[in-house]
Amino acid sequence: MLDVSNISYQYPTVPVLSSCSLSIGRAETCLLLGANGSGKSTLLGLVAGLKRPSTGCVKIDGKLSSHVRFGGHELMLYGQFTVEENLSLFVALYGLAPQSAVESLELWGLAAYRHRRVNDLSKGNRARVSLARAFLGSGSVILLDEPTAALDDAGTRILCGAVERERSNGSACLIATHDLARLLPIATRVIVLKDGAVLADSRADEVEGSAGIQRVVEQYRELNR
């Protein structure tokens, strides 16, 4: 479904990704782990088409250009508009029924904030609105960049439910995260990036048997203790 082939990218003076390749199949939820600066966010930006690779290519269902759903560090919303206005705008852009905005508000626990401007929301609620926007589209690949960074446990449960629903519909989900404890239960696969290349790649239920991933997982567990 998602094929990243020998992709490289560099900022003006710093190379970030070097000949990075990975494939993600239908109905896979893949966690992307790695230290800060390992290239996770850059890889997601390249897959989303927001950045252009120096070399290599990204194909989705065999095509070079295809729309994905993306929830990143940035909200990608109008800060001056209310929650409902923002979601209604994206519902219109995706060509969905107007009712979808209301359903999304309720799903993400945002009904009480529908008339609040995004800039006036807490960081956690802003993240929920951004995720609600990201899950509105119909692209078969979902990219999430540290989606739980600002979410409380309730928000994380909603996110996990949304990811599971998408997986059962056959979508592939690539999640860059440091929050292994909360997201490992919904993962089917774990990939570790180091210095812009794939260091380890394993099925989530085989994480304990993979030496490379085991080391990273232990580091995360140590940090979360």
Residues that bind other proteins (CB under 8 A): 45, 48-52, 67-70, 72, 74-81, 89-90, 92-95, 118, 133, 137
Q: Which residues pair with 3 in a beta bridge?
A: 23, 59
- Alpha-carbon distances, residue 148 vs 77, 83, 124 (angstroms): 18, 19, 9
Tell me the pairing of strands 55-60 and 2-10.
antiparallel
Residue 47 CB, nearest approach to other proteins (Å): 11
Structure tokens at 177: 């995260």
Nearer CB in complex with other proteins: 34/45: 45
**Beta strand 55-60 pairing with 172-176:** unpaired
Give me the least distance between CB of 74 and other proteins, in Å please. 4
3-state class (DSSP) for residue 114? coil
**Is the Cβ of residue 40 or residue 189 nearer to other proteins in the bound state?**
40
Which H or E element spans position 132?
helix 123-134
Residues in the chain: 225
Backbone angles phi, psi at 123, to 5 degrees: -60, -40
* Residue 139: CB minimum distance to other proteins, A: 8
Minimal distance in Å, beta carbon 143 to other proteins? Answer: 9
Look-up of token digits 């203790």 = 225
Choice between 93 and 112, CB closer to other proteins: 93
Cβ nearer to other proteins, comparing 18 with 54: 54
CB of 112 to other proteins, least distance (A): 21
- 129 or 180, CB closer to other proteins? 129
